[in-house]
Every structure is written in structure tokens, then in C-alpha cells.
Amino acid sequence: MSTVFIAFQATPDARPIVEAILADNPGSVAVENPGMVKVNAEGRLTIHRSSVEERIGRAFDLQELHLHLITISGHLDEDDDQFTLAWRN
Amino acid sequence: MDMKVDKKLSLKDRYRHQTRGLGWETTYQPMDKVFPYDKYEGIKIHDWDQWEDPFRLTMDAYWKYQAEKERKLYAVLDAFNQSHGHLNVTDARYINAIKIFFSAFPMLEYTAHRGFSMAGRQFRGVGTRVACQLQSLDEIRHAQTQIHTASNYNKYYNGMHAFTHQLERMWYMSVPKSFFDDAITGGPFEWMVAIGFSFEYVLTNLVFVPFMSGAAYNGDLGTMTFGFSAQSDEARHMTLGLECIKFMLEQDPDNLPIVQAWIDKWTWRGTRVLALVAAMMDYMLPKRVMSWKEAWEIYFEQNGGALFKDLERYGIKVPDCVAQATVEKEHISHQLWAAMYQWNFGTAFHTWIPSPEELDWLSAKYPNSFDKYYRPRWELWAQMEKEGKRHLNTGLAQLCQVCQYPMIFTEPDDPGKLCHREVDYKQEKYHFCSDHCQHIFEREPEKYVQAWLPMPQFYQGNCGGGGVEEFFKWVHLVPGQDNMDFEGSQDQQNFARWKGMATSNQ
Amino acid sequence: MSVTAIKEYVGVPLDVVANFHGNQLLYVAWDRHLMYAAPGIFGAAPGMKFGDFVAQTLAPIYQGHPDAAQIDWSKTEWEKGDKPWTPDFARTVAENGLVHKEFLRFRTPGLNGYMGAGI
């Protein structure tokens, strides 16, 4: 299986998103580099809107990710409730 | 216009309305006459409606989030400039990496903006056209934010004053320029593979992620912020590039060999361009997040490897050039910096010999190559400098007909021998740095015979006249100020003086 | 197809010999001496003696190298287009059969660069 990843700017707004990913994707690992945090996962990684909302205490539009996003790897599938990166191998 | 909407449409519905509802089959003129450029490359598309943008970004969301990104970015830039943030970088040497970056990238982003505007007009599929339009807007935003970020440095440091001019004239700028010229003169599908896939998906991570993290590490908030802000757009661009590849491969089996040839070509061309970034990471960042080789392993070998593995289902093979690129990750940064060092009389940035501590870092990061091939070079040149015999290579360099680099790369199986390939075409000799550049030429020789190679142009007298002094004037390079060694440069002196003023009451 | 294009397309080569005002180009590399990062590009008159090209154009480029003083040009071994070739130093560039943009590489037996490391 190949690694998918998503990287965010190391900002307070991005932190609850990273926390949601780490909680919802067993085995995912956050790697911190200057100015950024990169989350790696084997094969698949999902961000659930509800999980982010629980952490920030307000409604969250998954497209807000664009404000903090640096880069991704994997095929993307996004709708109103979830944002998934996956390799099909 | 007042519209009553009972219920908010879902993301998928909104995207569908924008990318399906806005197109139509033309009737006054046949579609092939309205869109004359999306078939000649040989790519067969049967159903444009199969195109999907996984981000499903609609115009309203695009403007909303891009505006927010811009506000954040310019708040940082303003604060950085207002507080003389440039004096907080680790070392004034660092600014030379920024000079290279800002000399090349804004104009390349601008070319990308033009290219996506063209592709957006050329494709007949609406989803594809919308995606190209958004990317075109992103690219001009990148050009603008980069120029704004650079302008503050340009006020205080040399070498950045003529970047628009130098893109066309400066010898080493022909490397990235020729990459984009090659891409934009292909058809729209090749453009998508060149920029959308190879450059964005396979390669920009190496520029905008570890290098920008390096900018953060070296105290350059402005560059870090625009870099990450740009890369957040690149995440969409990569998705678009990958989508385009999948789309072509799923539409018709005849598309496979064409797509494969483009992937082979553009993976190599991109890899070559990135040798510049390799040198910037290994030699120009005073504080380093990771070596070029490590970045290559994470972002090319692991990430690109996963991608190629994924595309196997369509019959795509890992490009042949990857084997050579894997060997070269141990060498290219060193070869590039050694070249810049010896030709720095012709560069609009400064160079230096790595300090003993930096040599040790390089030895540790490159145990297979550095001590054997490159450390002795730096030690010899340090010794020569001490003796007042600073090594300058007054012979100008032979250039590769395709990538336009000086032919500094060595044989894949012999790092002690400069690699050279040649081809006779229509009674004329052409030379290449590698098998892969040769193959690119052989596939489309009529394209590459036209290459504007700076060194032969210099010998033809087309670079301001015959001599080096005329060349300097023509390229807007101020000798003794923009070029030569960092040690003793005006930049070095100014930085030390201003830093002194910033940290004392003198 | 020699280029993917919407119609018949013929490129105009920019570096044909006619553009060099009576000179031609030669590319030369000193094998195992990577202190010089790439092969050099040189202009030469076709009627120039090859020995003069070596003495007046080529040798000065390399004079900063620790091996330079020990080069015995009569013992150098040459390749043309990556194949073995023997120059005649007394004859001209043209008489030696060197065409425009010829690639030459020479070896200096016994001299293998700084510390024998090919530098």
C-alpha cells in the first residue's frame, strides 16, 4: 500500500483539522517541519466535517481547508461531509 | 436578479450546474471549427462529461477562499516589510536563493497563466475549461504575490532589479524558460501533462514544500507565506493534472502511447529543471530542513512512486528516466553549485564555498558521493582562494539542445565523466546532456532545432555584441555588484551594517 | 512526424555555421578534470591550425589547474564525437575534418586531476 498525505500550515486554525484526522484515521502520523505539519497515512485518509465541527464548536465547510492546505497526495473524493485521499493500489 | 432558493444545493449539484449547465453544442458553426485545437495531438475523447474535478470548486467558493488567502498573505507581507523582516533571516547568503527563485518563478507563473488561458479556450469540455480558467487565475495570482514578496528584498539587495528582462536574456534563465516555452507550444493536452501533471503533481512539492519550509527555518516569513499560499492552489492543480491523465486514459486505449510519451518527456524535463532547486536546498539555505536527496525520496520516490503504481492499471509504465534520476539525486546539487561557483562572473547572485561545517553536513547527507567526488573540489578551490588564485572558468559552457543546461551532468554509471550524446539531423550536429534529452529531441526534432541557446547566440554576436562587457550591459547585470562572490559583496556589507543598527544604538 | 503540429511544420535551426561570421564552433572537454564543470564552447576559424587552436584558445582556459603545467600536448589522446580520433596539429581545423559543432574530448595520460580524483 502507498502513503497518502496532506500538509497544512502550522497555524491555530489548522490544528483542530489535524487533530480530527489523527483521531479518525488510525495509524496516521503527523510530521512537523518548520512552518508546516504533514499527516501521512497508509493508503487512505479521511477528514470528516462533523469531527472538525466537534473540535471547533461551529459549523465548518470542508472547502475552508483551502485556507490552510499546503499539499496533498492521492486521489481526492470530496463532498459536503467528507474529504478523502486514497490510492487504489 | 432575485432568486428564491429553497434549499442549499450540495457541493456536487453546484459543481454540476456550473460545469454542465453552462455549455452547449454549437449550431451556427461545427464544434470542430469552434474548438480546432483539441484533436490534432491524437487524443481521442468520446464523452467530455466524464471529466470530474474532485475539488468541485465553484466560482463563488473560489473567490471567497482566494480573497481570504490574499488577505492573510498580504497581512504577513505588510508586517514583514514594516518591521524590516529581511534583517531577521539567518544569514544574508540566504537571500541569494531568493534571488534565483524570484528571478525565475514570477515569469514562469505568468507563462502558466497564459498557458491555462489558452487551454481553457481550446478544450471543448466545459468542466475542463472551467478548471483551466481557475488555474489560470491562480497562476497570475502567484506571479503577482511573488513579485510583491520580492519587491521588498529588491529595495535592499542587488541582483533582482531586472528579472523580467533577464528571463529572456540571462543564460541560466533559459533553462526554466525553455521548459515553459516547450510546454506552451505543445497542444492543450500536452500542456496539461507538462504543467498539470509532471510539474504540479510530480515536482512542485519539491519546490514549494521542503524549500518553503526551509524559508521558514531561515526566518523568511514573507517567502514562506507566499510559498505555502501558492502551494495550497497547487494542491488543486495537482488534482487537475491527475484528473486529466485519468480522463485521457479512460477515454480511449489509443491515448495510452501518447500519454506515456508525454509523461516520459515531462518527468525528465521537470527533473532537470529541479536541479536548480537541489542546489538551492543543499548549498544556499544556511539552516536546512532536509537534504535534496531526502526531499527527493519523500516527494518524488515515495509520492511519485505511489502515483505511477496507481497508473499501472491503465498500462502506464514508470518512465525510463526515473532510474537515472535516482542515481543523480546523489550528485546534481553538487554539480550545479560547482558550476555556479566557477561561472559566477555571469550570475546575478553571489556564490560561496561551503564552510567546513557545511562540508561535514554534506558528507553526512551524501555518504555515497560527497567525500569521493565533491569534497576534494571544494577543498582545492578553498586552497586556491587562499593563495589568491580563485578558480573561475573563463571557458563558456556547451549547452544541451533540449534542457539548455550547461552539460555539467555525468554519466549515470561514471560520476567522473561528463555525459555527452550527439545526433546528426539534416546535416547539423546536436548535443545532449543525457539519453533522455536526446530522445525528446528525436521525437520532435523540428521543434528543438529552433532552440535559442544562449552560448551559441553569444558567439553569433546576438547578446549585446561580441564581448563580456557588452553582455553585462545587454543583460542588465551590474558587474562587481550583482555577480561574483558573496564574501566582500555589497549585500554582505549592507546586511552586517543594518543588522548592527538593528541590534545596537549606534 | 517530426513535430506534433496542426500543419506541415519545418523549424529554422538557429545555430547553423552561416550565422557565425566565418567561424565555426568546437566543443571540447578535458577528460577526468571536473574542475571544469562542462565541456567548453569555442569559436574557431576553419583555416586555423589545430595546434594554434589548442595553444591559443584551449590551453589558456585550463591554465589555473594544478595539472596544467604538466600537459604534454603531443601525448594527448583524443576523441571526436565520442570515438577515437587522432588530430594533426600542423593542419587546419577544416583539414582535420572538424565540422561545425564538433565535440572533442582529450585525455592527458598520467594526469588524472587533483589528487588523482578526476577533478
Q: Which domain holds residue C83?
A: 17-116
Contact predicate B116/B185, CB 8 Å? no
Residue C2 in any domain: the answer is: no
Chain segment B278-324, per-residue pLDDT in tens: 999 999 999 998 999 999 999 999 999 999 999 999 999 999 999 99
Chain segment C25-72, per-residue pLDDT in tens: 999 999 999 999 999 999 999 999 999 999 999 999 999 999 999 999
Measured between alpha carbons, how far is residue B322 from residues B193, B405, B460, C33, C43 in Å? 17, 19, 36, 27, 36
Domains defined for chain A, CATH in brackets:
3-86 (3.90.56.10)
As a dihedral over the C-alpha atoms of residue B326, residue B331, residue B335, residue B336, rounded to 10 degrees, the angle is 50
pLDDT at B45: 98
Partners of residue B313 in chain A, C-beta under 8 Å: 88-89
The reply to whether residue A33 touches residue B210, judged by beta carbons under 8 angstroms, is yes
Kindly report the average pLDDT of chain B as a whole number.
93
Kindly report the CATH class assigned to B48-503: mainly alpha
Burial class (CB in 10 A: 0-12, 13-18, 19+), C109: exposed
Partners of residue B403 in chain C, C-beta under 8 Å: none
A72's enclosing H/E stretch is strand A69-73
pLDDT at B2: 55
pLDDT at B254: 98
Residue C45 in any domain: the answer is: yes
Taking the domains of chain B in order of start, what are their residue ranges? Answer: 48-503
- Grid cell for residue C42: 569555442
Query: From its phi and psi, is residue C53 left (phi > 0), alpha (psi between -120 and 50) or beta?
Result: alpha
Mean pLDDT of A7-16: 94
The reply to whether residue B444 touches residue C4, judged by beta carbons under 8 angstroms, is yes
SS3 B40: coil
Partners of residue B231 in chain A, C-beta under 8 Å: 70-71
Partners of residue B235 in chain A, C-beta under 8 Å: 66, 69-72
Query: What residue in C sits closest to B338 (Cα-Cα)?
Result: C37
Share of chain A above pLDDT 70, in %: 100
Share of chain B above pLDDT 90, in %: 81
Map grid coordinates 514508470 to a residue. B318
Question: Is there an interface between A and C (3+ Cβ pairs < 8 A)?
Answer: no
User: Which chains neighbour A (Cβ–Cβ under 8 Å, 3 or more pairs)?
Assistant: B
**CATH number of the domain within which C64 lies:** 3.10.20.560
Instruction: Tell me which residues of chain C, numbers 15 to 44, contact chain B at a CB-CB cutoff of 8 Å.
Output: 15-16, 19-21, 23, 25, 27, 29, 31-32, 34-43
Rg (CA), chain A: 12
| pLDDT tier for residue B162 given thresholds of 50, 70 and 90 | very high
Map grid coordinates 472547502 to a residue. A63
Please check the confidence at residue B259 and state whether its pLDDT lies above 80: yes
pLDDT at B331: 98
- Minimal CA separation from C42 to chain B, in Å: 8
Contact predicate A5/A75, CB 8 Å? no
Contact predicate C6/C92, CB 8 Å? no
Task: Name which of B446, B462, B463 to mutate to probe chain C: the one with the most chain C Cβ atoms within 10 A of its Cβ.
Answer: B446
pLDDT at B207: 82
pLDDT at B89: 94
ipTM of the complex: 0.97
Asked which of A6-15, A74-83, B4-13, B260-269 is least confident by mean pLDDT, the reply is B4-13
For chain C, the domain total comes to 1
Distance CA B56, CA C63 (A): 63
Residue C1 in any domain: the answer is: no
pLDDT at B4: 58
The reply to whether residue B310 touches residue A3, judged by beta carbons under 8 angstroms, is no
pLDDT at B227: 86
B90 contacts: CB under 8 Å, gap ≥ 6: B217, B218, B219, B286, B287
Please check the confidence at residue B504 and state whether its pLDDT lies above 90: no
Instruction: Tell me which residues of chain B, numbers 119 to 158, contact chain C at a CB-CB cutoff of 8 Å.
Output: none
The reply to whether residue A89 touches residue B72, judged by beta carbons under 8 angstroms, is no
B182 has a chain C CB within 8 A of its CB? no
Distance CA B475, CA B170 (A): 6
